[in-house]
Structures are given as C-alpha cells and as structure tokens.
Chain A
Amino acid sequence: MSLNYMIPASKFKRYLPKDYVELVDYGPFGKKYSEVGVKNMGTYKELVEEHPMCSGCWMSYYIKIIFASLPNPEDTVTIGTAGCGRLAISQAAVPFIYGNYGDQNAMASGITRAFRLRFPDRQKDVITIAGDGGMMDIGFSMTMHAWFRREKFTTIMLDNEVYGNTGGQESGMSVEGAVLKMSPKGKNFGKMPAMQLAITAGCVYVVKMSPTNINKASKAIRRAIFAARNLGPTFIHVYTSCNIEYSIPTPDVFRDAKEKEKRSFCI
C-alpha cells in the first residue's frame, strides 16, 4: 500500500504544523513497520510522546505499545471514553474521538461503516480503547451488540480492575474479595468472563494477556487489527494495573504484572 499521500511537497512543509512534518521526517508516517514498530521504540518520534498519567502507570506503557504497533497509523482512528486511558490516548498524533460514557463501540460501529462507504479504496482502521468500567460495566450492552452485529473493528479493554479515575470503586472486572477505597468490605463476586463473552458473541480473534512481553503484545495488537479488517470483531483483554488504587510502588509495577500473569489473570 502506498503511503505517499501522507508526505507533503517540500515547498509546502513550512506551512504545515511542525509536529506533522516531524512525524513524516522522523516518525512512523509513511514508513514501513519494519523501520519503526516496537522494536525500534526510542529511536524515532513516537505517536505518544507525552501524557499526564501517574508515575509508573502500566496502562500508559501499554498505550505506547498500541500506538507503536499500528500497521497503518495514518489511517487509524481511536475511540475512547471516560477513564484514565483516554488521558494518554487523546495525546497521540492519531485522531481520537471521545464517546459518552460506555458508547465507544456503538460509535465505532457507525464510523467503521461510514469509512467503508466514504473510502472504499482505502483501508481505515478503527480501534476502541477503553477501561474495564467503560467496556464491561457501563458500556456492556453496546460492546456486546457491536460484537453480535459482527462489526469489523478492534476492541481493546485496559483492565485495571478498579474505577481508578473516580476514587477506587469496584468494577465488574475487580477480583473477588478485592478491598478498595470505595468498597471497604471487599467484592462479593469474581471477575466477569470477558474472554468467554467475546468468543460467544462472535469475535474472530480474542486475546487475554498481561503485556510483560513487548513483542507478544505488539503481535497480538497487529493480528487483531488485520483480522478486524477482513473478518469481523476482535477483542484484546489486557491487564494494566492501577498502581495508585492498588498501592503498588512504582518500581514494583513490572513485577506485579509478571505475578498477575502467572497467578490470577487467568480463568
């Protein structure tokens, strides 16, 4: 696929926003994935350079991986909703649409269909990125119905097992017995089986992971996007801890992700 239409003519460069020109000259715009991607992170201008997330936030790390893994960042649109994640997602040099709480998958359905009508000759990727509250609690019906309708876009759930942005209430994805600031008695029931729900609803590619391996995480994201282009809905359920609400010291965030991967982030 030619990405030449992203490259501005040399005489027009000075009239264009500096950030855009830099993304063409030093960033991933118009380049092959092998030249940029997660393996080369730190050597080129990334799509997310700054974000206002907490120190040691595992979610912001994964969001950086998402944007570094995009097969076609020039033609990608992300959709999110209220929650911590959108603070970093909205800082990326990729168009971001902010949905009302929980309606990100309903919006993505409309946008995907509109893109296919408006740009039949161009591959436009739509990705919804939201937290466990936006995806599995408040946005549950819209998420499920988008999958039942076999809408062709990728859904990524950033599961931090808590409503981190509003003070620490339990979510449907919190583990059983979790004691949080706003649920002092502990949660009475277990995690919702998001992966099983996605498979039952008709997702063609589903992954559940804790992103401790950067290459594996990137491969899953790219596979999900490729499958969504051609076949149907895809879903990635990823553990991205909230080190503030779960009181994980910043240096221990990676260790927590490793432990979670082996112990409880499973069926």
Chain B
Amino acid sequence: MYLEMLKRKKKGRFAFEEFMTDEAKELFKVVEAKKKKEVS
C-alpha cells in the first residue's frame, strides 16, 4: 500500500505526504459535501 502511494507521488515534490484508507476517503467526501451545502 505504501509503495503504491510512493509511485503516485511526483518525483522531487515532498511538500506533503498523505495516506488514507478507502473508508477515510469516503468519509472526507461526505464531510466536504456537507460543508459545501452549508456554505451555499
């Protein structure tokens, strides 16, 4: 899993490394959609 993440990373850019599971990805989508709804 970690190696996959490394492959995706652009060479020479180390500013921010983030790893999340698929479950976490889904959760953040829901949270951000909620936020957008509140703003609009």
Contact = CB atoms under 8 A, between A and B. Distances in A.
Contacts of A267: 6, 14, 17
Contacts of B23: 204, 231
Given A199-B1, A261-B14, A267-B6, A206 B19 contact: yes
Interface of B: 1-2, 6, 14-21, 23-24, 27-28, 31, 38
B27 A230 contact: yes
What 3 A-B pairs come out closest when comparing CB atoms? A266-B14, A208-B17, A206-B19
B5 to A, nearest CB: 8
A124 interface: no
25 contacts: A195-B17, A195-B19, A196-B2, A205-B21, A205-B24, A206-B18, A206-B19, A206-B20, A207-B19, A208-B16, A209-B17, A212-B15, A213-B15, A223-B24, A223-B28, A226-B27, A226-B31, A227-B20, A230-B27, A231-B21, A231-B27, A262-B14, A265-B14, A266-B17, A267-B6
A207 B18 contact: yes
A267 B18 CA distance: 13
Q: Which of B19, B23, B28 has the most CB of A within 10 A?
A: B19
Interface of A: 34, 195-196, 199-200, 203-210, 212-213, 216, 220, 223, 226-227, 230-231, 261-263, 265-267
Nearest to A208: B17
Contacts of B24: 204-205, 223, 227, 231
Contacts of B31: 226
Given A227-B27, A231-B23, A261 B15 contact: yes
A54 to B, nearest CB: 26
Contacts of B2: 195-196, 199-200
B26 to A, nearest CB: 10
B28 to A, nearest CB: 6
A207 B17 CA distance: 6
A199 B19 contact: yes
A209 B13 CA distance: 12
Contacts of B18: 205-207, 220
Given A199-B1, A223-B28, A226-B31, A205 B19 contact: yes
Nearest to B6: A267
A216 B28 contact: no
A261 B15 CA distance: 5
B11 to A, nearest CB: 11
B18 to A, nearest CB: 5
Q: Which of A199, A213, A227, A265 has the most CB of B within 10 A?
A: A227
A34 B24 CA distance: 23
Contacts of A205: 18-21, 24
A265 B14 CA distance: 8
Contacts of A220: 16, 18
A233 to B, nearest CB: 11
